[in-house]
A and B are shown apart, each in its own frame.
Chain A
Amino acid sequence: MANEQQKGPGPSVPLRERYLVYPGAPLPDFSTPTAQAFVAEDRRDAKRQYFALVARPGFPTRINCMRFLKGVECPGLMTMAEWGVMDWPPANRKVMVVVYEKPLGGRVMASMTSDFRRVEEVDMVRKVIAPMTEALKKLRALGITHRNIRPTNMFWATPERDRIVLGDCAISPPAFDQPAIVEPLDSGQCVPAGRGNGAYTDDSYAFGASMVMLLQGRNLVAKQEDAAVIRNKMVNGSYSALVGENRMPVQMIEVLRGLLCDDAAQRWHVEALELWLAGRRLSPLISKNEKRAARGFNFGGKDYVTARELSAAFSRNFEAAAQVVLDGRLELWLRRSLDQQDKATAVSDAMHAAVAVATEKKPAFDYMVSKVCMILDTTAPIRFKGLNFLPDGLGNLLAVTVVEGGDVKLIAEAILRSVTKAWVETRESYNPDNSIMENAFNSQKIFLERTTIGNGVERLLYEMNDSMPCLSPHVVDECVMDIRDLLPALNNAARKNEGKGWPVERHIAAFIAARSNFDVDRAIYELSDGNPARSVLAMLNILAILQWRLGQGGMTSLAGWVAGLTGPAINSYNNRETRKQLEKEIPRIAKDGNLVEMARVLDNPEARSLDQQGFDQAKDDWARMQREIKNIEAGQIGTDDEGVKTAQQIASLISVTIAFITTTLLLISRFFNG
């Protein structure tokens, strides 16, 4: 009955014909910063309580996580019952929805600044660490990271509040909703969209930071700005920055220091947690402080004694940073005050490379400063003209920027300048994953350099984000994530829009190019052809290939839309009879919704070859006739050499004939006269 009361007014919307979501019954207590929660119900089991998280329209989600987590039951995770795209009447469009089994004990922490009842240290293992370890273990087994671990995304699983479960991690980009204080130093310095999927150790860190708050019943650094917390982490280490002067239970110090270790290589992972839970005690990790310079480096009126802090300062003022790198002061400081010869040499190399560029000094200097920032702090994210991001977060950053209508120029410039390459070059140790990532970025750079339809930023958007719905104005309301949903969505668009514009515009072309596992490259390339007939045929061929490959017939409205655009292709036939036949045939095919047949009829190489041969013959015939007419008009027929010769032949024939007749007659008379 309780569930019945929560449903509220209004009808429900079905998801995959099993779950019902009630748009009139919001659940603010289960909402996230980027997704609203609503009451949901299982048609097969009305007694269990569910809620649905509705993604922000157009926002990228983590479909990969959804695929893996659906139906997974784990003591530390909310159970994801279902996910998918569904109609959403309040927005009058389709949206991505994830349905979870409802935790019955409520949210652990209402907001990052609110107080809550602390978890006693005696309960910590049973209520928090054990279920969280299970959750992290399960996530690792599934090969995914959570990237959304914080007290405000933790729930008490039962009304008795005896176990904590992690909230959603799939409805928004990874770590997008995370406050900087629960993120490791590198990720914390990034813009929220640019943090990327990260590593398992990032989840360990977020869990450690959450544990500090759970033990204290509040966020100890709630009153501090994110920048201040990050700086404190840089200078004093994460443990000191988050715990400060506060007392932590002695038995928890070891696990907290392990989880909050700033060196990701040494940070505790799930196996270490399991060992700790099993009773094995290790000596607490002591964070290594950054090497301090004998003499501070003055930049922007402030002295910096560590390279890490200076790197962060440089990222905030690229132009001034370029000057201090170019005048050699930085190199000198690294050699003399910080005694880091390797870094000094690397900075010198970057400077000389920038100076050697003959043209466009400014972009070269920007790249140089970006690289110097990475050299100074090898644990920092990519810093490019005020934009901080991790390489695997670049796709999400681009997606969020596009969806929010932001300027993608800076992101595009970062890719074109190959700052990711600089990031790979400045790593302290070799990681094969980095090489794979660099190759991927090189391919994406090529897509970006091509500005033709099917390439550019749009192509990059879909290549770098598997979960990105197609943003074409034709289908944006249909939330097309899968290429199989594209033709039906376009068919609906054709019905609604009555076929305005081209069905295969920049976003559609890029989406198809990125998502299809069959060859459409040639057709995509020809879309930008200056020849209207060729580009129309390319558009038709792309849609026909999709229809054929995916076996989706009956696209009547879409075929009608396309048929209305085939004029240039029909007119490319020379024979007017053929054109008339096609003009009659194409609407007939469109009524059947058969794009494959339409493409076959319009782009038939044999018919085109015959048409061309006939046309060439007709041209020759016309030219021959024209010559003859001109000769007649010039009065040359009969008086020209040919005519005279013919006449002379006739005269000779007459003469010889007379001679023959005369001779014959004389001979006959001779015979008869004896």
Chain B
Amino acid sequence: MAKPAKGKGKGDAKGKKPKGSNRLLILVTAMALVPFSLPTLIVLFCAMLPTLGAALAERSGSRYAWVCVGGMNFSGLAPWLFDLWFGHHTIDYAIHQLTGVSMLLISYGAAGVGWLIYLGVPPVVATFTTMTSQRRSVVLIADQKKLVDIWGDGVTKGGGGGGAVDPADLL
């Protein structure tokens, strides 16, 4: 976690320019592909709306919701997308797929499962962590006792040695 922060802090002025140019590059590439992949884009846009919504709606700093929802959303959409790619990659077929209820139902349902995973995993992880941390606490207390046994009560204080003297004075 420290590395991105370091990179961010190191050069805001330098970093912004490449990021902006990358986005522009992606946008230009996407615009160039539009004439050749329009059916795919129509299907993706319509079927992946829950992911777009998750990305726009998420307020937390970590921004993992759209990844979580997007992954499941894409899983639900994948069979129809492959049909489009490996079958009839036309606008008509894309619209045909959209107008059929099953594709949207399944992809949106999968997105919903994504949300469930996103919301359900943290409590489960917290419960598990709490269970393991009790044991961790016992280990830490034992380690602290070992330190006191070796170095005396002085280690528990802000300063001073185990005896009545400040050993730093003797150096």
Contacts and interface: CB of A to CB of B under 8 A. Distances in A.
Contacts of B137: 628-629, 632-633
A575 B75 contact: no
Interface in B140-168: 140-141, 143-144, 147-152, 154-157, 161-168
Nearest to A621: B147
B36 to A, nearest CB: 21
B150 A651 contact: no
Interface in A491-541: 531-534, 537
Contacts of A573: 163, 167
Contact of B170 (A572, A656, A659): A572
A571 B162 contact: yes
A651 B155 contact: no
B68 A666 contact: no
A199 to B, nearest CB: 52
B151 A638 contact: no
A655 B125 contact: no
Q: Main secondary structure on chain B at its contact with chain A?
A: helix
Contact of B72 (A621, A626, A639, A659): A659
A612 B125 contact: no
Q: How large is the interface on B (under 10, 10 to 19, 20 to 34, 35 or more residues)?
A: 35 or more
B78 interface: yes
B121 A654 contact: yes
Contacts of A537: 170
A228 interface: no
Nearest to B63: A648
Contact of A638 (B65, B117, B130): B130
B22 interface: no
A643 B125 contact: yes
A485 B127 CA distance: 79
Interface string A594-606: 0000000001010
Contacts, number: 181
A652 interface: yes
A608 B79 contact: no
B155 to A, nearest CB: 5
B151 A651 contact: no
Interface string B88-129: 000000000000000000000000001001101111111111
Contacts of B155: 615, 618-619, 622
By Cβ-Cβ distance, the 10 closest A-B pairs, closest first, are: A638-B129, A655-B71, A647-B122, A571-B163, A638-B126, A647-B125, A651-B121, A659-B71, A648-B64, A662-B75
Interface of A: 531-534, 537, 568, 571-577, 603, 605, 608-609, 611-612, 614-615, 618-619, 621-622, 625-626, 628-629, 632-633, 635, 637-639, 643-652, 654-659, 662-663, 666-667, 670
17 contacts: A531-B166, A532-B164, A533-B163, A533-B169, A533-B170, A572-B161, A621-B147, A622-B148, A628-B137, A633-B137, A638-B125, A638-B133, A643-B122, A648-B68, A651-B118, A654-B121, A655-B72
Interface of B: 60, 62, 64-65, 67-72, 74-75, 78-79, 82, 86, 114, 117-118, 120-130, 133-134, 136-137, 140-141, 143-144, 147-152, 154-157, 161-171
